[in-house]
Chain A
Amino acid sequence: MTEPVISAQGLRKEYGDFVAVDGIDFEVHPGESFGLLGPNGAGKSTTMRMIGGTLDRTGGQLRVLGLDPGRQGPEVRAHLGVVPQQDNLDEELRVRENIVMYGRYFGLPRSYLGPKADELLAFAQLEAKAKAKVDNLSGGMKRRLTIARGLVNEPRILLLDEPTTGLDPQARHVLWDRLFRLKEAGTTLVVTTHFMDEAEQLCDRLIVVDHGRIMAEGSPRQLIREHSTREVVEVRFGSQRNAQVVADLEGVGARNEVLPDRILVYTDDGEAALEEISRRGLHPITSLVRRSSLEDVFLRLTGRTLVD
């Protein structure tokens, strides 16, 4: 097996009494697309910042490309591309200048940065906006510019913290398409997200984190197979009746989860389960059969949903 590009053992971050990251172990391999899936406040961003050496860890071991980011931050970051949760574009510079100046921070020469900026603007589909003010870009455009900027030093690892949070569905798909291209080109991606569909789309392998701890690890398919059934039946009886009906659903599937607005019945055959429900004389207001997702894995592992 190849050397991991990132390895963490017992990685820990405390803020006073609060433990943000509670001793986690993971490895990321070159060319891999690795995900940290968990709700807000799970410690994902904290972990990302420790990888970039812009936040000191409290304990544990961390190696990025064989270096310690806490001690050799500038050298580690020379090979990282960072896309933070909130865009931090330079609003006092124009769109293209944002890419060029960012490259200057890496000590890259202007002779390289000129053509590189044009290439990245094309990649981010922002050629027409090269001279625009950052303030005048849409949310999706800002995000793409932030990613393009993060690629200016040809990073070996791209860190993406909640890359599509706050974007509309169309902008998300455009962004995912760009990230797929990077993945195909061999860039190692580390993605944090609280969207299960994003994790399923982008990640080869992921860890599910909650309260600073790792709850499970594996590929999306593997995690679903291990922690959930093949299919799920979602039935709604109205918020008053859901709790009463759940006893009558006993035995229909492998297990049930009661959420405030619906009941989830876990089963390998959704259609059969739905027939069984109506055979028992229960008539849900709405019903839906779907494949199990990472959302179900998270619910199973923590008893909570990802998006509160």
Chain B
Amino acid sequence: MSATPVPAPPHTPGPRPFRSLSSGNVGAVLERGFTVIRNQNWMILVSGFFEPVLYLLAMGVGMGGLVGEVVGPGGQPISYAAYIAPALLATSAMNGAIYDSTWNVFFKLRFAKLYQAMLQTSLGPLDVAAGEILMALFRGFVYAVGFLGVLALMGLVTSWWALLMVPVAVLVALGFAALGMGITSFMRTFQQMDLINFAMLPMFLFSATLYPITVYPEPVQWFVMAMPLWHAVELMRQLSVGHLGLVTLVHVGYFLAMTGVGMWLTTVRLRALFLR
């Protein structure tokens, strides 16, 4: 008790919209995220980076030896590894964002009580949700840069358009993270959380990731084309070889719409998610 008391600076929050949900201090949530990464969690970053690389080596290079060349988006022949690499990037953007916005949020909410502590302060639920989504995007960005680097080293990058795969990976992550957090607000138990994995694996396997969509009968094709991952895969694949068209914009539009719906759902469910 010998230390002299330090007086607090004056605190005058101004009037804002979302007054009950936000203090406009998202930065502090990000600061916490980066501090944790610096302290100990960089291992998680590394493991997330290796996942698509391992798939690329096993499927692309390994199985690619059996498959040989396939038809690329523009009709030109490309190696099997070059064919699935963009799909793996799209999938890793999805997996990272979904993990961060569902399991990670559920755990911090239920067990670590992190959000409970944050919401005791002048942070509001909107600050916490936005901060966590931005952290998920940061991870998505780091993975995308790393994976693109690996592709370049393996000689699988043939177009400057491929650089756009990085911001697109962030957009894909944003769509999945926004929707994922909204969905988490409905979850009460681990069993329900398992349903998320139950939806993710088939989406990875069947969204024209490892072979063209034309192998399916038409009704199945329509179903696959309604799924978000298919749009992400197509978008990435087109960018990887620089074969763009109007349909590219449709895929981008799909993710902008998904982000809008996800943000809306998360915002209306904020109270259910954090204030229970």
Contact = CB atoms under 8 A, between A and B. Distances in A.
Contacts, number: 120
A56 B271 CA distance: 9
Interface residues of A, number: 45
A271 B271 CA distance: 58
Interface stretch (B32-40, B48-56, B177-185): B32-40
A4 interface: no
Most chain B CB within a 10 A radius of its CB, from A52, A75, A91, A115: A75
Interface in A65-82: 70-75, 77-80, 82
Interface of B: 1-9, 11, 13, 19-23, 25, 28-29, 31-32, 35-36, 39-41, 112-114, 116-124, 271, 275-276
A88 B1 contact: no
Nearest to A91: B112
Nearest to A113: B6
Interface of A: 52-56, 70-75, 77-80, 82, 84, 86, 88-94, 97, 101-102, 104-109, 112, 115-116, 118-119, 122-123, 150, 153-154, 181
Contacts of A93: 32, 35-36, 39
Contact of B122 (A77, A88, A91, A115): A77
B28 A104 contact: yes
B122 A106 contact: yes
* Those 5 A-B pairs whose CB atoms lie nearest each other, nearest first: A88-B113, A105-B121, A74-B23, A82-B120, A154-B8
Nearest to B118: A105
B271 A112 contact: no
A73 B117 CA distance: 14
A104 B19 contact: no
B216 to A, nearest CB: 44
A93 B114 CA distance: 11
B21 to A, nearest CB: 8
B3 A71 contact: no
A150 B23 CA distance: 18
A119 B5 contact: yes
Contacts of A122: 1-3
Given A90-B117, A106-B11, A181-B1, A75 B122 contact: yes
Contacts of B35: 93, 97, 101
B122 A74 contact: yes
11 contacts: A54-B116, A54-B275, A79-B11, A80-B120, A88-B116, A92-B39, A93-B35, A102-B117, A105-B32, A119-B6, A123-B1
